[in-house]
Amino acid sequence: MNIIFDCRIYETSLHRGIGRYVYSLIDHILKNFPELNISILKVNENQIPQFNYRNNSVIYYFYNKLDTYNFKEKFDFYFFDDILVTNDNKLNRSVMFFDKLFPEKLLKNSKKIVSIVHDVMPLVLRDEYVHYDRNKYILQLETVYILDHMFSNSECTKNDFIKYLNIDENNITSIYGGIDTKFNNLNIDTYNFYKRKNNIVFTSAYDDHRKNALKLVKGFAIAYNNNRIPKDSKLYLCGKVSKEYDKIVEEEMTNNNITKKNVIVTGFISDDELIELIGISKATILPSLYEGLGLTILESYACNTPAFSSNVSATKELILNECSFDPYNEEDIANAIALALTNEEICNKSIKFGKRLLQEKCNWDIASKKVVSKLYELMEYIDIDNALFTNDVYYANLYKNSHIFTTLNTAYDIRSLNNSIDIKKNNNTIIPIEYYNKFKCKYDYKNKVFIFDYAEFNIKIIDIILSDNIHQHCHLFFFSKNVLPTIFLYFNNNLYDFKDCIKKYYPDNYNLIDKITNEEIIFSVLQENDIYGFSILLDIVKIYHIIDNDIKVFISKDLELSAINSNKYVRFINNRG
Q: What H or E segment, with its residue span, contains residue 200? A: strand 197-203
> What CA–CA distance (Å, rounded) separates 545 from 552?
12
Q: What is the pLDDT of residue 131?
A: 55
User: What values do phi and psi take at 493, rounded to 5?
Assistant: 60, 30
Provide the 3-class DSSP secondary structure of residue 311: coil
User: What values do phi and psi take at 530, rounded to 5?
Assistant: 65, 25
Q: What is the pLDDT of residue 220?
A: 96
Q: What is the pLDDT of residue 134?
A: 64
Query: Could you report the per-residue pLDDT of 254-289, keeping only the tens digit for each?
Result: 999 999 899 999 988 888 899 999 999 999 999 999
The structure's pTM equals 0.71
Cβ atoms of 260 and 289 within 8 Å: the answer is no
Closest residue by Cα to residue 61 from 139, 6, 133, 20: 6
Cβ atoms of 533 and 558 within 8 Å: the answer is yes
Residue by residue, DSSP assigns 546-569 as EE-STTHHHHHHHHHH-SS--TTT
The 10 Å CB-count burial string (b at 16+, else e) for 498-515 is bbebbeebbeebeebbee
Q: Which residues, in sequence order, are CB contacts of 227 under 8 Å at separation 6+?
A: none
> What CA–CA distance (Å, rounded) separates 488 from 478?
17
Q: What is the pLDDT of residue 91?
A: 45
Q: What is the pLDDT of residue 569?
A: 82
The listed CATH number (3.40.50.10490, 3.20.20.150, 3.40.50.11540, 3.40.50.2000) that belongs to domain 2-174: 3.40.50.2000
Provide the 3-class DSSP secondary structure of residue 163: helix
Cβ atoms of 305 and 326 within 8 Å: the answer is no
**CATH superfamily entry for domain 181-362:** Glycogen Phosphorylase B; (3.40.50.2000)
Kindly report, as residue ranges, where domains of CATH 3.40.50.2000 are found in the chain. Answer: 2-174, 181-362
Residue by residue, DSSP assigns 382-441 as PPP-EEEE-S-GGGGGG-SSEEEEE--S-HHHHHHHHTSHHHHHTT-EEEEGGGHHHHTT
Provide the 3-class DSSP secondary structure of residue 237: strand
Q: What is the pLDDT of residue 13?
A: 56
Query: Could you report the per-residue pLDDT of 310-362, keeping only the tens digit for each?
Result: 999 999 999 999 999 999 999 999 999 999 999 999 999 999 999 999 999 99
Provide the 3-class DSSP secondary structure of residue 143: helix
Provide the 3-class DSSP secondary structure of residue 130: coil
User: pLDDT tens, position by position, for the chain (577 residues)?
Assistant: 999 999 887 775 555 667 788 889 999 999 999 999 999 999 888 888 889 899 999 999 999 999 999 998 889 999 998 776 654 444 444 345 556 778 888 988 998 899 999 888 888 887 766 555 666 677 677 778 788 899 999 999 999 999 988 888 989 999 999 988 788 767 676 889 999 999 999 988 777 888 999 999 999 999 999 999 999 999 999 988 888 888 999 999 999 999 989 999 998 888 889 999 999 999 999 999 999 899 999 999 999 999 999 999 999 999 999 999 999 999 999 999 999 999 999 999 999 999 999 999 999 999 999 999 999 998 875 567 888 998 877 776 778 888 889 886 555 566 667 667 777 777 888 888 888 876 666 677 888 999 998 899 999 999 999 988 777 789 999 988 989 999 999 999 999 999 999 999 999 999 999 999 999 999 999 999 999 999 999 999 999 999 988 899 999 999 999 988 766 788 888 755 4
Provide the 3-class DSSP secondary structure of residue 36: coil
Strand partners, 161: none
- Signed CA dihedral, 492, 495, 499, 502: sign only: positive
Question: For 243-299, what is the HEC assignment?
Answer: HHHHHHHHHHHHHCCCCCCCEEEEECCCHHHHHHHHHHEEEEEECCCCCCCCHHHHH
Closest residue by Cα to residue 204 from 127, 293, 83, 135: 293
> How many Å separate Cα 340 from the centre of its chain?
37
User: What values do phi and psi take at 193, rounded to 5?
Assistant: -55, -40
